[in-house]
Structure 1
Amino acid sequence: MSMHREAIRTARSVVVKIGTTALTTPSGEFDSSRLQYLADTIEARMRAGSDVVIVSSGAIAAGIEPLGLTKRPADLATKQAAASVGQVALVNSWSAAFGHYGRTVGQVLLTAHDISMRVQHNNAQRTLDRLRALHAVAIVNENDTVATNEIRFGDNDRLSALVAHLVGADALILLSDIDGLYDGDPRKATADHPARFIPEVAGPDDLADVTAGRGSSLGTGGMVSKLSSALLAADAGVPVLLAAASDAAAALSDASVGTVFVPRTERMSARRFWVRYAAEASGALTLDDGAVRAVLKQRRSLLPAGITAVAGHFHGGDVVELRGADASVVARGVAAYDAAELSTMIGRSTSDLPVELRRPAVHADDLVAL
């Protein structure tokens, strides 16, 4: 067994993401027996000494039948209505499943806005930490009833990666109908064009020949979202296991199945992770070539002299994108000034500015290259 599978096997704090297809029949009906099986395997992991946070999809699917719908709705309002009904059924099913073991569950509904704003981000972190301290099982889901298309995570795969970092998890396990990463869709493989299984992803070179597909009609995430979310978590320092829900017992016991995504050697700080992945950008700064080199190559602070344009309405403390002359985003950082103030400082040397305006526009400690 590789050291990375061993790290997942022995992880004391684990986030388990469960996809919609793992909780539904092939015809799309919500299946409480599948949920009970997953609860049983998670209970076994918890009894072995691990803390587990569950990120559970399935709310919209669970609301389809009670509302008399025949298929997953396409419009936002009906999706939100289905989520409103289905979320009750979903959390009740988790509560009943863990009730067999005398465990209490707590529901945590999040929107992208909650993660993107520092105060809500910290509040969510405290809530999840406290639930674990009280030995309750946190069931996390995107709050589909209020999330709009503009503020969605897009799928619970990305949410699970953000939650894994939020709670300082030692491992992230993604469970769905996919038993791991292939270089193509195994359902479309032929003798002439077989799909090759990839047991471990250590870096970009391992993905050179991978073609990822979209999701099912019931869920929102496909291999594209799973791959990007696994890479996000691994980049933050969290090892990831991508496996089939039908292999949950093996995935949660000895990590002997699925594909492992190797984490970076150093864990990203909570603040840098928030700047890079979680926060919404409130504006943008365009940099000259010299400033781009200083930010990317020398890891230096951004000074007003290197800024050629300011866009957006932001305040000091907001996250902004840093763009090159070709408009490509090269970094993200926390602005030290508001947009109006910074607009008066464009291209000016620090020595030409009043003493109170001689701080960097974006300090190196608050800057993350992309």
Structure 2
Amino acid sequence: MSEPRQAVACAGRVVVKVGSSSLTTAEGGLDPARLDALVDAVAARCAAGSQVVLVSSGAIAAGLAPLGIGRRPKDLATQQAAASVGQLALAHAYAASFGRYSLTVGQVLLTADDVVRRAHYRNAQRTFSRLLALRAVPVVNENDTVATEEIRFGDNDRLAALVAHLVGADALLLLSDVDALYDGDPRRGGARRIPEVASSSDVDGVRAGTVGASGLGTGGMASKLAAARLAASAGIPVLLASAAQAARALGPADVGTAFAVTGARLSARRFWLGHAAGARGRLRLDDGAVAAVVGRRRSLLAAGITGVEGAFEAGDVVELLSLGGDVVARGVVAFDAGELPALIGRSSHQLAPEQRREVVHADDLVPLRGTAVTG
């Protein structure tokens, strides 16, 4: 068995993400048999000594049938109404199903603010830590009832990758209605199954769709691939499999596609800075500054900046771009956007004493070259 599969099989703390299509019927209601089968697999892993955090889609889909809505709505207000009904149905179904094994569940509803804002991020960490210490199973979903951007653009695959690092997971499982990663659409024939992903080059030729086959979800294979690469780049092995294979995915891990770790595990703060925090602006760097920031992990000085974009304040997170427009790093800026135009391109001895400080200090900077970062 490959190293990432062994890591997944032996992980002490696991984040499991399941998509809407794996929990609901084509008509939009919850499928009790599918949900029970997933819970059976999770409960078995818990009985084996692991801690499991379940990131579950399905709130909007679960609310369609009770409201008499035939298909996933496109307008935000109806999506939020469906989520309001569906969240109750989903939480009740999980509580009842896990109750068969005398396992307590705790619902954790997150919005982008909870992973973008540093204080919210730390509060979420503490909540998860306490739930797991009390031997509960946290069931996580985006708070679609009040969220806006998440419903229109977000997906629970990315949320699961963020949660995996937030809780210090040893592995991430992405379960959907597809049994593995393919280099094309497996429904059209001729697509090649990819059992192992050891590096980014292994998926360079993959053509991943953006919508789930059922039409009930919002992710699709593209979001799963992005989430897997994000987690792997942060030191977390990933297994992508079908929900129908949940028992084997959570057992010997001999199904689906395994993603090997491609980067070192970051501290919670550096992961938040690099992958979770929302950027308020952009700084364009010359080649020398890119080499210093990315290659030598140095602080960014005003002399290496060629342009400023956005309306940020000192203390905000900004993206650092190369001359070619690639995002090479993220960091906490030490100046307001209005202060920087007069400073850029100037060396320290040309600046007033109170301006002779790093624009982004090395301790507040995360290089991103070679990693898959979205959003």
Aligned to 2:81: 81
Taking the aligned partners of 2:121 and 2:230, their CA distance within structure 1 comes to 17
Shift of 1:301: 1.1
Map 1:1-370 to 2 at 5 A.
1-149=1-149, 154-189=154-189, 194-216=190-212, 217-264=215-262, 266-370=264-368
Given residue 212 of structure 1, which amino acid in structure 2 is its aligned partner?
A
Contact 1:142–1:153, Cα closer than 8 Å, also in 2:
no
Q: Report Cα offsets for 1:298-347 as digits up to 9, x if no partner.
A: 32211012223322222222110112334443321111222233344222
Shift of 1:351: 2.5
Relative distance call for 1:352 and 1:151 in structure 2 (3 A) is farther
Taking the aligned partners of 2:173 and 2:79, their CA distance within structure 1 comes to 27
Given residue 343 of structure 2, which amino acid in structure 1 is its aligned partner?
M
Taking the aligned partners of 1:3 and 1:293, their CA distance within structure 2 comes to 33
Given residue 8 of structure 2, which amino acid in structure 1 is its aligned partner?
I
Shift of 1:360: 0.9
The root-mean-square deviation of aligned C-alpha atoms, in Å, is 1.7
Taking the aligned partners of 1:328 and 1:231, their CA distance within structure 2 comes to 18
Q: Tell me whether 166-175 or 28-37 shows the greater mean CA deviation.
A: 28-37
Taking the aligned partners of 2:164 and 2:338, their CA distance within structure 1 comes to 37
Counterpart of 2:30 in 1: which secondary structure?
coil
Please, which runs of 5 or more residues in structure 1 have no aligned partner?
A: none
Normalising by structure 1, what TM-score? Answer: 0.94
> Which portions of structure 1, spanning 4 or more consecutive aligned residues, are displaced by more than 4 angstroms?
150-153
Shift of 1:205: 2.0
Q: Tell me whether 7-16 or 101-110 shows the greater mean CA deviation.
A: 101-110
Counterpart of 1:339 in 2: which secondary structure?
coil
Q: Report Cα offsets for 1:250-277 as digits up to 9, x if no partner.
A: 0001101110000125212222211221
Normalising by structure 2, what TM-score? Answer: 0.93
Contact 1:14–1:50, Cα closer than 8 Å, also in 2:
yes
Counterpart of 2:106 in 1: which secondary structure?
strand
- Quick one: percent identity of the two aligned structures? 63
Shift of 1:354: 3.9
Contact 1:111–1:151, Cα closer than 8 Å, also in 2:
no
Please, which runs of 5 or more residues in structure 2 have no aligned partner?
A: 369-375
Taking the aligned partners of 1:151 and 1:17, their CA distance within structure 2 comes to 17
Shift of 1:36: 1.2
Contact 1:183–1:212, Cα closer than 8 Å, also in 2:
yes
Given residue 204 of structure 2, which amino acid in structure 1 is its aligned partner?
A
Taking the aligned partners of 1:151 and 1:175, their CA distance within structure 2 comes to 20
